[in-house]
Chain A
């Protein structure tokens, strides 16, 4: 009895040590990843003068394109995205699905950072992860009777869906690889937020306003739908 308790205690300790280690590794990995992923940010400790000096020399980004860094980051992020997307498909529990979706949305934000769309990545994190996902989890919590509620589709349907989606994926890949894209050369500079804002309020003013009106309508509609029945 005593020996068992002792063994369990030591197991707990080693698990703790493992938790410490993995925590540090996770922090380091994430920090490194985020650092490398911020393509338009200037190098650390940069001053105004330094930035101009940098521009004179002709380098605009921290991670030079064409190096080994970009492919490594891309493959890591892409793997995470794909695994999370498949996790959403496979997960049976609805909350697990939501957590997989959280990972997928986060890594899509990382893809945006990699594509030099910093603002879009941040907006993806705020609106999707901080807003839409919370809303979904809220819906899950308000509408499920037990934490482990499942709705199992028949097996035949699963196989059918898998076949259809697999065929779709194959078709998309064939199209992708047979398509000829116009070549672009050289370093593509990231777009600044100011450009984005200016374009949004000039060329895209009408869609912008329409989206505002739509959001207003949706707000009223959602409040009406979810109101308390008196």
Chain B
């Protein structure tokens, strides 16, 4: 908390908390001028509207703007230092507040859907939900007596699907932007810790929290380079090919039962398709750069992606088989009954399928140990060699956004989706009040669990990246074609047989199935509890680890 210098913002001056006098004077002068012009136009020009607009309204507008600027500057002077000290807490508060807002909006939407529709259905005179908008009076008559009447204009837009789309799209775009910014900072911190150093510590104050925004601004300000011999159009087009599918994949990704932008029947296939398109961007980028390293990176990416999509898709078939649906919402809802109902523990094949899916997904979003397309020790930066500035940033945005989608898929398909380890049926007795809904959202199932689990798997990806060495391209392909592919084929076959055996509903099989589920669940629990235990041990002894490296004399000194 000692450092709070952000290089790209003016450092606030100490002791100068006053209102900027010059701006205030300018505003007053402008207002006087406007008054004079008003008198002039009224007297000599007969108050023509255009003249009024130009001579009177314009100075008043400028005066208002000057006053606003003065207000902003003075606020900055007064609050800047405090803002810098408390920025991390403000940030956390803002995140919590936005979660609360989203939750409140969702509750409102649900209420608007259920109660208003019911009211409209009871009243034959009222227009219905989709056939036309309800009027304000109808909303007032339909809403409970507790709500004051002046709220009804605020509720009125909730009945339009377009409004909900706009709200959820804005939320998704914000999430899509925040995830890479956060993960890039986090990755640098994790890398630092794993290598016994601190990572970014300066920018912004607390543990360098402003490192990613500062990097972003730096990247935007960098020179926009296109190599002379490059294919200029394709070079400029490639980043968009990367980022658009990654952004569109969020469209079908459910964060909760109701927190989904478009609940598609085929959400799983859709997301897989969009993630698969990303490879075209890499190939086009590598080709258009007209650089040996780039083209090597692109070829490696093409090999890797095309081969790893097969085991990935086959591993994903296992939960689809268990549930019998391609809709992510249905798959998630099938795992509502707590830890032991999660699909990863439903049978041994699903458990292994989860591991092999995770390995294949690492390869398909170019994470270490499969980051051959941008292997910096061999290929400079692979397909990114010739990119700089904003285009380079777009590739990274796409990569980190796709990482979250991949982790979200793993969570939804294998690890209970948006449900907590507690069975959701425990909360059935609490009723449907607004408080009970909120409590259930926190305790049993809600987007907060989805984001938490997804973030945990993001951490696992970062952890693997900074722990494992990169493997060779022939080893990558060997691992796919000769190990993962046969393995996932066996898994699909095995889980088909398992589900088929379960369909006979014989008593002995049910008991056996239950025992296997419990054993797998306990194994998973040991993993899930062991990781935080190890992390806590490391955190407790962090001084010892760092200190020993610092204090030990270097050889020869």
Q: Which residues 44-68 of A have a CB within 8 angstroms of B? A: 44-50, 53-54, 56-57, 59, 62, 64
A141 at the interface (CB under 8 A from B): yes
A23 at the interface (CB under 8 A from B): yes
**In the bound complex, CA of A10 to CA of B293 (Å):** 30
B265 and A192 contact, CB distance less than 8 A:
yes
Segment at the interface with A among B1-9, B44-52, B242-250:
B242-250
B109 at the interface (CB under 8 A from A): yes
A35 and B394 contact, CB distance less than 8 A:
no
**How many A-B residue pairs lie within 8 Å, measured between CB atoms?**
180
**In the bound complex, CA of A49 to CA of B258 (Å):** 11
A130 and B279 contact, CB distance less than 8 A:
yes
B169 and A35 contact, CB distance less than 8 A:
yes
B274 at the interface (CB under 8 A from A): yes
In the complex formed, the residue of B with least CB distance to A42 is: B263
Tell me if B's interface is mostly helix, strand, loop or mixed.
Answer: helix
A40 and B302 contact, CB distance less than 8 A:
no
**In the bound complex, CA of A139 to CA of B107 (Å):** 53
1/0 contact string of A102-128 vs chain B (CB within 8 Å):
100010000000000011001101100
Segment at the interface with A among B78-86, B110-118, B525-533, B536-544:
B110-118
The distance from the CB of A122 to the nearest CB of chain B, in whole angstroms, is 4
Known: A95-B287, A119-B269, A133-B280. A30 touches B161 (CB 8 A): no
Q: Which residues of A contact B302 (CB under 8 A)?
A: 134, 137-138
A41 and B220 contact, CB distance less than 8 A:
no
**In the bound complex, CA of A220 to CA of B295 (Å):** 28
Q: Please tell me which one of the listed residues B231, B234, B244 contacts residue A30 in the complex, with CB atoms under 8 A apart.
A: B244
Q: Which residues of B contact A138 (CB under 8 A)?
A: 299, 302
**In the bound complex, CA of A159 to CA of B264 (Å):** 47
A131 and B306 contact, CB distance less than 8 A:
yes
B240 and A23 contact, CB distance less than 8 A:
yes
Segment at the interface with B among A13-21, A150-158, A162-170, A205-213:
A13-21
**In the bound complex, CA of A114 to CA of B54 (Å):** 49
The distance from the CB of B310 to the nearest CB of chain A, in whole angstroms, is 10
Q: Which residues 3-33 of A have a CB within 8 angstroms of B? A: 9, 12-13, 15-16, 19-20, 23, 26-27, 30-32
- Max chain B Cβ within 10 angstroms of own Cβ: one of A23, A49, A106, A138: A23
Q: Which residues 204-248 of B have a CB within 8 angstroms of A? A: 220-224, 231, 234, 237, 239-241, 243-244, 247-248
Q: Which residues of A contact B264 (CB under 8 A)?
A: 38, 40-41, 118
B326 and A193 contact, CB distance less than 8 A:
yes
Q: Which residues of A contact B168 (CB under 8 A)?
A: 44-45
B11 at the interface (CB under 8 A from A): no
B305 at the interface (CB under 8 A from A): yes
Q: Which residues of A contact B248 (CB under 8 A)?
A: 30-31, 34
**In the bound complex, CA of A65 to CA of B503 (Å):** 41
B279 and A134 contact, CB distance less than 8 A:
yes
Q: Please tell me which one of the listed residues A27, A54, A57, A130 contacts residue B244 in the complex, with CB atoms under 8 A apart.
A: A27
Q: Which residues 146-204 of A have a CB within 8 angstroms of B? A: 147, 192-193
The distance from the CB of B480 to the nearest CB of chain A, in whole angstroms, is 15
B309 at the interface (CB under 8 A from A): yes
The distance from the CB of A192 to the nearest CB of chain B, in whole angstroms, is 6
The distance from the CB of A111 to the nearest CB of chain B, in whole angstroms, is 15
Q: Which residues of B contact A45 (CB under 8 A)?
A: 106, 109-110, 113, 164, 168, 258-260
Q: Which residues of B contact A26 (CB under 8 A)?
A: 240, 244
**In the bound complex, CA of A147 to CA of B314 (Å):** 36
Q: Please tell me which one of the listed residues A43, A96, A192 contacts residue B164 in the complex, with CB atoms under 8 A apart.
A: A43
A135 at the interface (CB under 8 A from B): yes
A129 at the interface (CB under 8 A from B): yes
B471 at the interface (CB under 8 A from A): no
